[in-house]
Structure 1
């Protein structure tokens, strides 16, 4: 009888030890499933702020509204090698303890390539800017509301002036 109780208590303790790391983790995980990189919720929030500085909200939706930071993370996870991912997270580390105004100032300084910006920040910023812009240009909003598509070869215009060579 005592043996069953001891085994039951050991199994309960082992189950608690398995669940303990998930309870102690203070930061949440990313809101999308990523297979090769590990991103916390605070890093995702910082990326959203940086993307919003790159494409701010005006009369059209901004980067936060279109979730372009998630597009950047998915592209980084799927399309880039480990060393490029490491450079990205080194650059992201510069934004860790900054508030929204300081993030904006650092992004503007990196965009204008000032001398006081650390060199480790440029690979991060270039990738972030390129992927944010490509995500915006390929977003559902832009493709359905801003770009007017015609099927190839287009409509026939019999009165189009032809220039001779």
Structure 2
């Protein structure tokens, strides 16, 4: 065995040991580390689809592409009081069961028009848990979108104060 073959095999083994933990993601665990909320993978996927429905992808990136569902989870985990966190978790499970009960299928499996119609029908329901959950999610999704790197760098062109000088502006 020559030295080049030995080094090549050693690099293959080292690369394999570095990549091996990434292959064993425990299914059912959340993507982001949370201290107060306990969310499983199914609930995280539901929240991702809800965020994508609120801010759909078009010529701009959507909510799922900007990872706004993780922003919502982190904000609820860090910035809301324990009552809001509990309402968020119970509202998330109530939202999933309400969608299944009203539409006959899971929210994730609905097409975009059915999702929008279902979200518009939430105004008339009397379930306060779902309304509170949807309100928190919508508010934090919009906050995350307006504070995202995409909006701040590509969409919004910032001019320093006092702005540019226009010498031809007529004073009346």
User: Are 1:132 and 2:144 an aligned pair?
Assistant: no
User: Are 1:161 and 2:170 an aligned pair?
Assistant: yes
| TM-score, length-scaled by structure 2 | 0.71
Count of aligned residue pairs for this structure pair: 135
Q: Name whichever of 99-108 and 118-127 sits farther off.
A: 99-108
1:9-49: CA deviations, max 9, x gaps? xxxxxxxxxxxxxxxxx852211111221111111111001
**Residue of 133, 139, 160 corresponding to 1:151:** 160
Aligned to 2:54: 54
Aligned to 1:43: 43
Q: For the residues of structure 2 that align with 1:93 and 1:117, how far apart are their CA atoms?
A: 16
Aligned to 2:15: none
Going from structure 1 to structure 2, the CA distance change for 1:57 and 1:117 (only over 3 Å counts) comes to farther
3-state SS of paired residue (2:128): coil
Going from structure 1 to structure 2, the CA distance change for 1:139 and 1:53 (only over 3 Å counts) comes to same
Contact 2:29 2:41 survives alignment (8 Å)? yes
Contact 1:68 1:132 survives alignment (8 Å)? yes
Q: For the residues of structure 2 that align with 1:162 and 1:121, how far apart are their CA atoms?
A: 54
Larger radius of gyration: 1
3-state SS of paired residue (1:52): helix
- Stretches of structure 1 that go unaligned for 5 or more consecutive residues are 1-25
Residues 1-165 of structure 1 aligned to structure 2 (within 5 Å): 28-94=28-94, 95=96, 98-100=106-108, 101=110, 104=115, 105-110=117-122, 113-114=123-124, 116=125, 118-163=127-172
3-state SS of paired residue (1:120): helix
- Stretches of structure 2 that go unaligned for 5 or more consecutive residues are 1-25, 101-105
Q: For the residues of structure 2 that align with 1:141 and 1:55, how far apart are their CA atoms?
A: 13
> CA offset at residue 159 of structure 1?
2.6
RMSD of the TM alignment (CA)? 2.0
